[in-house]
Amino acid sequence: MGLYCTIFGHKWNGCKCVRCGFVSQHSNNHHYVPVEGKCQLVCSICGKKVPRQHKWVIVGDKANKECIKYCEICGEKGKAEHKWNKCICERCGAIRKSEHDFHILEGECIEKCSICGTTRPIAHKWAGDVCINCHISKKTYFEQRALEAQGAIYETTGCDIVGEIEDQTLLQNIANNAKLYRVRSEALKHIIKREILISIAQDRSKDYDFRIEAANKIKDDAERKKVLASISMSPGEQSQYDSEVKSGL
């Protein structure tokens, strides 16, 4: 610091004294200019850098139903808030659970949102075994529900209606997917289709007892014996058997 400046004080040009060259980092008079491609300002006199606000542009990513923001200056990216119009985002098309505008469809037990098109079932109005609204029978209804839930429904309603189901694919779903053994077993009891019984008997992810139960239901004597034998095979025998099955034996 020069003597003159000590006595009379500095002669500032922005953050720098033009007389002695002293730079004050704490000056309020830096000459900030933007840094190209960065959200930063730099003092053209002393080189001090400070952050600068991003310039966000928000776009809707319709494929992923996300609102994305990116900075026009530095390119930084991030998630942005959706722009909700009732239940749908105007920008990206995302749908939320609230603020739907549901209307019941004529002759159906389904309501549909007039804004986003989301549909959901409503309770049937039973008159005996038939819904007065959509005319579905109770039996069909239970079958549909069971297909949707892949057997999960039986954990809450019990086994009693499994016995009413004839659809073999549905029974297979229940036998494969129901969590409770007694439910799977109940479904298996009503399976008569040969291919399904064989596929269950040969499914090594299933319990031994369950596979035996399935195999025992195969009508054809020779086929039943062959499948039963395959269940008790050692791993070596089993791979031999598998390759025979594959080659169409």
- E strand or H helix at 58: strand 56-61
Q: Which is nearer to Zn ion, 46 or 161 (CB)?
A: 46
Is there binding between residue 109 and Zn ion (CB under 5 A)? yes
Q: Beta strand pairing status for 130-131 and 126-127?
A: antiparallel
Is there binding between residue 153 and Zn ion (CB under 5 A)? no
Is there binding between residue 100 and Zn ion (CB under 5 A)? yes
Residue 154 tokens read as: 């039986």
Residue 83 tokens read as: 């722009």
Which of 71, 110, 130, 161 binds Zn ion (CB under 5 A)? It is 71
**57: three-class secondary structure by DSSP:** strand
Q: In what order do the strands lie in the sheet with 32-34?
A: 32-34, 40-43, 49-51
The residues in 7-46 that bind Zn ion, with binding defined as CB under 5 A, are 10, 15, 17, 19-20, 22, 30, 39, 43, 45-46
Q: Which is nearer to Zn ion, 61 or 203 (CB)?
A: 61
Q: Which is nearer to Zn ion, 26 or 219 (CB)?
A: 26
d(CA 121, CA 138): 15
Counted residue by residue, the chain has a size of 249
Is there binding between residue 94 and Zn ion (CB under 5 A)? yes
Q: How far is the CB of 16 from Zn ion (least distance, A)?
A: 7
Q: What is the number of H-type helices and E-type strands within the chain?
A: 9, 15
Is there binding between residue 175 and Zn ion (CB under 5 A)? no
Torsions phi, psi of 177, nearest 5?
A: -115, -20
Binding residues for Zn ion (CB under 5 A): 5, 10, 15, 17, 19-20, 22, 30, 39, 43, 45-46, 48, 54, 67, 71, 73-74, 76, 82, 87, 89, 91-92, 94, 100, 109, 113, 115-116, 118, 124, 131, 133-134
